[in-house]
Structure 1
């Protein structure tokens, strides 16, 4: 079976000189955040992969090239690129611009309210900061080359001991998956805070009736989206504060909200038409008597 090491060899690179970073956070929301950064903020992604714990740090330190892969939300290991390792320095000696970059990256990974300046970077103070720069070699395979996940928890490997069989070479590069059909879309509050730009654009074009489920107790709320930025704008309002934005939702924690679409209406639908559909869904689901609508 053709492997990633075969590709390295064809391109004149010895697998013995390559460390393989298999970025695969257990949290699917964090996987999505990584893929979004690759497409929209590559400097933040490169910051993510430039510090490591002691054992993977030693593996990378001994090799001049790092091959980077990321697990996409569908569980496939996708090639990001080859990176030259120009050396390292203690993270604690990094300048203010590096700290600002890491704050930005961490907020993209965990949400905008989870990091407060340098305090969120204390765990990195004893690590090395690697100087990684993307190589042109094999860059045409970025987002297209899919390899088999070797499994196990160790994410930093030595290439010559990790052949990585090639599963697929796609025609188009794609890190961020396309938006699901409206009737299959389910998003949590953390998902909304890390949406790729293409998803934001689509949700901003959709108007209709939506359902919020409070994952703490299963309580349900039916709402309507028809104003500026349609569904994306309304859902973003719901998760922007520490409590719900309506009287009914004010006793709930928006961090536990789950969103889905009950009915997608025409972009030309009037406010009265959307509100009329909303009232019908409240009666059908029973959220007026037994849910969070009044």
Structure 2
């Protein structure tokens, strides 16, 4: 059974009725506007600028919210550049329309990796419901992301989920699985903080894995909060052989230092 673009878009939370798929090709200038085209060394800003300028004749009258942009590659194939969000038309002189576009995090893990077939050489855009049947030709391995170090680690909940799931963060999981210690969760919606620990047989990776899965890690204090507002960081890490009383003392210290019992989310 051939994998198509449809399940990838749906898994990314993109409504097919609210998206179009675009395939850019390297050209000297934009066919409709006469503006400079794009090339292999074009920057993200240049490609975004190229995309935001569209003809009044050959584009949907009311473009949808999401534009899934590919770059032509090797004849009938195209590689994902980015998913961008259309925030509306900002000018129209009768020939050229300019749109307010911003990069979206949808399918960010597939940028530069996802390659699809494109069998209609003259069609440079199509509705996502049509492109949904385009075959997936390949998904390249993600480039590894270097681990930044324990003292530089700050993750929102979406990034934490990616770290626990994606191949490119394998070294991060190895590092987090090698230590126990004290961590901090900040609810960025109101600034309240929660000090927690991973000790004994439970590494930081295992402990944070539960937060990635259910958002609250089993903590009563966090159950009714929105994990999308959480920010995770490490306060202190220990070797797994460290005696439990030493880790408990460090946890207690940070609860006092950050006053998370009276003004934060810790109950004890």
Q: Could you tell me the TM-score, scaled by structure 2's length? A: 0.51
Q: Is the Cα contact below 8 Å between 1:208 and 1:264 reproduced in 2?
A: yes
When Rg is computed on C-alpha atoms for both structures, the one with the higher figure is 2
1:175 is aligned to 2:143: yes
Match in the other structure for 1:95: none
Tell me how far 1:221 sits from its aligned partner. 0.8
Residues paired across the two proteins, number: 174
Tell me how far 1:272 sits from its aligned partner. 2.4
1:289 is aligned to 2:257: no
Match in the other structure for 1:41: none
TM-superposition CA deviations, 1:215-273 (whole Å, max 9, x none): 11110111111144511211222343265622322332222211111111123113222
Match in the other structure for 1:3: none
Select the residue among 212, 219, 232 that pairs with 2:192: 219
More helix by share: 1
- SS of alignment partner, residue 222 of structure 2: coil
TM-superposition CA deviations, 1:65-89 (whole Å, max 9, x none): 5467789x9xxxxx9689795737x
1:234 is aligned to 2:207: yes
Q: CA separation in 1, counterparts of 2:130 and 2:80? A: 23
RMSD across aligned positions (CA): 4.3
Q: CA separation in 2, counterparts of 1:187 and 1:218? A: 15
Structure 2 segments unaligned to the other structure (5+ residues): 1-25, 28-37, 45-65, 83-102, 106-110, 121-126, 164-168
Select the residue among 122, 129, 144 that pairs with 1:125: 129
Q: Could you tell me the TM-score, scaled by structure 1's length? A: 0.47
Q: Is the Cα contact below 8 Å between 1:19 and 1:60 reproduced in 2?
A: no
Q: Is the Cα contact below 8 Å between 1:61 and 1:87 reproduced in 2?
A: no
Match in the other structure for 2:242: 269
Q: 1:251 to 1:20 in 2, by over 3 A?
A: same
- SS of alignment partner, residue 125 of structure 1: helix
Match in the other structure for 2:158: 190
TM-superposition CA deviations, 1:152-211 (whole Å, max 9, x none): xxxxxxxxxxxxxxxxxxxxxx82221111111001111111112221121111211111
Structure 1 segments unaligned to the other structure (5+ residues): 1-14, 25-51, 74-78, 89-122, 135-141, 144-173
Select the residue among 119, 127, 149 that pairs with 1:87: 119
Q: CA separation in 2, counterparts of 1:83 and 1:240? A: 29
Tell me how far 1:212 sits from its aligned partner. 0.6
Q: CA separation in 2, counterparts of 1:276 and 1:205? A: 21
Higher RCO, Cα 8 Å, sep 6+:
1
Q: CA separation in 2, counterparts of 1:261 and 1:181? A: 10
More strand by share: 2
